[in-house]
Structure 1
């Protein structure tokens, strides 16, 4: 018998993703087989799955908390914003279409059967599914055709625990207001609530918990203090990547409008002696950077235009003239070349534009997306590397003769004659400790290899301890309902 419980939020960024990971790890430690599930996610930070698709990076972390490989059924609908008004729609791991936001409402009802299909299939492989909502169910203007919150919970008959974020202020109004605007049938699906991100003495909110419980009829499940070690886990938003500061090696990353798959930065920011600074628009790239990383992008040509509009192309050229190092990953690799061509208009109007010109390579985008988990080695040192590829297009040119990776037995990447400017398509490569140490040591400032994977696992255990100490996990698990598959 498989059971399921859904964690929804009274707003965005209330900490649902981490709570799902913490609850899942706590349930695993009770001897349960657990899987995460998010019906719909919106993120350009994707993970490649073992079954050859892509899902949100947060669900990949939750799968790790469960001790499972990520599969596409854990996040059947992934929206990847390409412009301010449109997004690519990925369904069960594969691109379905690109739609404008106003047209997505008409598409959503057709996706619910696919979402339920993934949910029921996932339920066949575990004892418990911990479901994560998106945004807030209080957005009742989006209720018609909803597949992310109450629309899914009602269709699959999954009970809900509502989470509020006290750090933002007004949490009582968030919770009671949510109850007030919900349809009675939806409100009845909520069985309990908890408050997250409390700073200070949690007993000071005892009266607040009583007020919410009395006003809503929901069971109070706990007040969770701020989890200070969250920075040690892969970030869902690029601005959550926190530099520890004071490092001998300064890595600078321009924040592209459509930055994608920036999990390359998490192991770097967690490395002692390394600081990672995310530079927002309107600020120059710092003069004292040891390494500038051009990250992945969901809309490479548009982000290249944005890069130039900030004057970052001038800063980058000056950095290279001073002998600085540059690494472009995926979209950033394409930008470093001499030209990017999009003849089919895959990322906007069909066009061909000059690149930054720091690598003698050219890229042509084409409709076929490469999705692959890959094994590689770092040619200068021979250290093993693993990661994933998730990109459109092919890159060719003279500088690919100076490939610096061997990827699944073939040369990968390109380098300038000085080797100070490099690019490649492999994401996630810095998670390998020996490679990370070797690459950073090439900057002239040796660092220790460390144990990034071990740190992530230890932090997930600490998160589970935190959840156990402040949330009534037994009550949450008791609220989970049996999954009723259509064939039952």
Structure 2
């Protein structure tokens, strides 16, 4: 009989995604057939599934922890912000609509049947499903029509474990305050709580645990110290990349775009010895000592190009190229490097055409058909294999495409300048290939070591599971999972 439990947070960014990944790996090592599930996620960092759909990258990592290939049912609703007030809605892996936040509030309740359909399909025949909430159930103003937290827990009959983040302060108020504002029926669904991101001696918070339990009646399941190696796992939020503790000598500068998307290209570079990955915030110049400026993907290419220029980064980038620096554009970043981007159908907004950065002799035309596919490729110069995925609107053409530097399923992919210092392509994930990554960094002047990136991720997931085993009462936690009706 399939059992399930749900991990919710007393706030956003309390570490739910990492905790769920650790629980999936710990459950798998205990012999459970386990799967992750998140009813609704909001992220522009998407993963492509084998069945040609999109889910949040955090769920792809959790699937890996569980020993499974990512499936669209693991994250049936994915919101991909395009503006400050609107997002693309992806349902069961497929783009369904672009709506304003206010309109989505009315739309989401109607998505519950499809969320439950995915949940039931995923749960069928498994021992355990670990569900991740979104944001916090304390946002009781959003309770009506909720599909992400208590609304889902009620509909699916799933018990809840609440996680508090002590690193941001006020963790007793986070948890006790959640208890106070929740209606009694939701409050009763919470069976236990845990504290995350503790720095120092956890025994010093023993009295705090007692106070939380006294005020709420919930069972304390443990205190998780800060997991120092979390930065070695693929990041769900680009903000997490700031914590990369690299002492590298080769600097790669990445401008933080407003709608940065699919930035998992940066993860293998962030953990590479010798590389210093610098995320450049708005208002700061691109560093003059960077060997490479990497322009990542974007959910709103034309708007992000305007943002790029507003920071003066176009001037910095031209100076970087004059100094002999290298430039790599990936997906949306690739489109920005060309002479022109046109959007005749207004897929990205009201602007129909804009001038590109002009560093590649190419043009991009936005088209309604979205390409979403896993891809095997070959680096033409070395013959090295590369695996990745494509997820984009638009088609790119022009003279510099004659210098394509990748080959995908027998067709040329990408473009390069005549001197080879400016390059672009649509393929995401290519730096996870160890051989290609070493060859690329060698071209930049860094003799990279033979680090196995994928093995490093696996080792970190195992270390995360060990961390949870040491500091949480996992026997009690897994025992709280209830059978599905």
TM superposition score normalised by structure 2: 0.99
1:134 matched to which residue of 2?
134
2:52 matched to which residue of 1?
52
SS in structure 2 opposite 1:80? Answer: strand
Query: Displacement of 1:476 after TM fit?
Result: 1.1
The reply to whether residue 121 of structure 1 matches residue 106 of structure 2 is: no
2:327 matched to which residue of 1?
326
The reply to whether residue 447 of structure 1 matches residue 414 of structure 2 is: no
Q: Is the 8 A contact 1:10 1:174 kept in 2?
A: yes
1:162 matched to which residue of 2?
162
> What is the alpha-carbon distance in structure 2 between the residues aligned to residue 209 and residue 441 of structure 1?
51
> What is the alpha-carbon distance in structure 1 between the residues aligned to residue 73 and residue 168 of structure 2?
33
> What is the alpha-carbon distance in structure 2 between the residues aligned to residue 50 and residue 360 of structure 1?
34
> What is the alpha-carbon distance in structure 2 between the residues aligned to residue 58 and residue 452 of structure 1?
18
1:215-294 matched pairs, under 5 angstroms: 215-241=215-241, 242-294=243-295
Query: Displacement of 1:447 after TM fit?
Result: 1.2
Query: Displacement of 1:261 after TM fit?
Result: 0.2
Query: Displacement of 1:421 after TM fit?
Result: 0.2
Q: Is the 8 A contact 1:344 1:350 kept in 2?
A: no
1:395 matched to which residue of 2?
396
1:45-444 matched pairs, under 5 angstroms: 45-241=45-241, 242-444=243-445
In structure 1, the gaps of 5 or more residues are none
Q: Is the 8 A contact 2:314 2:357 kept in 1?
A: yes
Query: Displacement of 1:245 after TM fit?
Result: 3.2
> What is the alpha-carbon distance in structure 2 between the residues aligned to residue 445 and residue 206 of structure 1?
48
> What is the alpha-carbon distance in structure 2 between the residues aligned to residue 318 and residue 32 of structure 1?
56
Query: Displacement of 1:248 after TM fit?
Result: 2.1
Query: Displacement of 1:459 after TM fit?
Result: 0.2
SS in structure 1 opposite 2:366? Answer: strand
Q: Is the 8 A contact 1:10 1:164 kept in 2?
A: yes
Q: Is the 8 A contact 1:467 1:473 kept in 2?
A: yes
Query: Displacement of 1:40 after TM fit?
Result: 0.3
Query: Displacement of 1:204 after TM fit?
Result: 0.5
> What is the alpha-carbon distance in structure 1 between the residues aligned to residue 194 and residue 419 of structure 2?
56
Runs of 4+ with >6 A deviation: none
Q: Is the 8 A contact 2:35 2:66 kept in 1?
A: yes
> What is the alpha-carbon distance in structure 1 between the residues aligned to residue 69 and residue 202 of structure 2?
36
State the Cα RMSD in Å.
0.7
CA deviation profile, 1:278-315 (whole Å, cap 9, x unmatched):
00000000000000000000000000000000000000
TM superposition score normalised by structure 1: 0.98
Q: Is the 8 A contact 2:261 2:298 kept in 1?
A: yes
CA deviation profile, 1:233-267 (whole Å, cap 9, x unmatched):
00111121133333121100000000000000000
- CA gap of 1:369–1:321, structure 2 versus 1, over 3 A, is same
CA deviation profile, 1:356-389 (whole Å, cap 9, x unmatched):
0000000000111000000001111111100000
Q: How many residues align?
A: 484
2:477 matched to which residue of 1?
476
> What is the alpha-carbon distance in structure 2 between the residues aligned to residue 376 and residue 299 of structure 1?
26
> What is the alpha-carbon distance in structure 2 between the residues aligned to residue 177 and residue 51 of structure 1?
42
> What is the alpha-carbon distance in structure 2 between the residues aligned to residue 362 and residue 218 of structure 1?
59
SS in structure 2 opposite 1:367? Answer: coil
Q: Is the 8 A contact 1:330 1:426 kept in 2?
A: yes
Q: Is the 8 A contact 1:336 1:357 kept in 2?
A: yes
Query: Displacement of 1:443 after TM fit?
Result: 1.0
Q: Is the 8 A contact 2:338 2:361 kept in 1?
A: yes
SS in structure 2 opposite 1:366? Answer: coil
> What is the alpha-carbon distance in structure 2 between the residues aligned to residue 444 and residue 109 of structure 1?
54
Q: Is the 8 A contact 1:436 1:449 kept in 2?
A: no
Query: Displacement of 1:397 after TM fit?
Result: 0.4
Q: Is the 8 A contact 1:86 1:101 kept in 2?
A: yes
> What is the alpha-carbon distance in structure 2 between the residues aligned to residue 13 and residue 474 of structure 1?
25
CA deviation profile, 1:202-228 (whole Å, cap 9, x unmatched):
001101101110110111100000000
1:18 matched to which residue of 2?
18
CA deviation profile, 1:401-450 (whole Å, cap 9, x unmatched):
00000112111000000000000000000001000000111112221231
> What is the alpha-carbon distance in structure 2 between the residues aligned to residue 467 and residue 127 of structure 1?
20
1:4 matched to which residue of 2?
4
CA deviation profile, 1:315-341 (whole Å, cap 9, x unmatched):
000000111000000000000000000
> What is the alpha-carbon distance in structure 2 between the residues aligned to residue 97 and residue 164 of structure 1?
34
